[in-house]
Amino acid sequence: MLSMVPLLTVAVLALAKPVWFTMLSRNFDAAAQGLPPPHIGTRETFLWFIWIGGSGLTLPLAALLWRARSQQLRSVAKVGLGPALFNINDAYLFGLPIVLSGALAVPFVVAPLAAAVTTYVA
């Protein structure tokens, strides 16, 4: 049986795409006229600044794991770095394990929120 979470994610993103593309086209029109872009939250903003490294913003976590004292954590970093560059972070989710830990789940949710606020303020 399929899980409902990926299907729900696909449905929400499918609804957001027309809005994002409209905002992007208005930004292009404004740039062509020499005006500042009116919209900040386009899809590209999310791709480059908020979702970098996959869900939970785990690319910086990969950098921290390279310097870990534990050989096991360094091996998780080595295995997961290649896929994390393409926003696939399953090695970190299940290798650390973020999925089963309440203490690690909090930064997994808070890090993208902090990245969104920082991106908006910048």
| Residue count (the chain) | 122
Give per-residue pLDDT as tens, 44-94. Answer: 888 788 777 777 788 888 888 889 899 998 999 899 888 888 878 888 888
Task: Check whether 20 has a pLDDT greater than 80.
Answer: yes
Is 112 in contact with 120 (CB distance < 8 Å)? no
Taking the C-alpha atoms of residue 77 and residue 68, their distance in angstroms, rounded to an integer, is: 9
Whole-number percent of the chain with pLDDT over 90: 17
Confidence of residue 32 (pLDDT cuts 50, 70, 90): very high
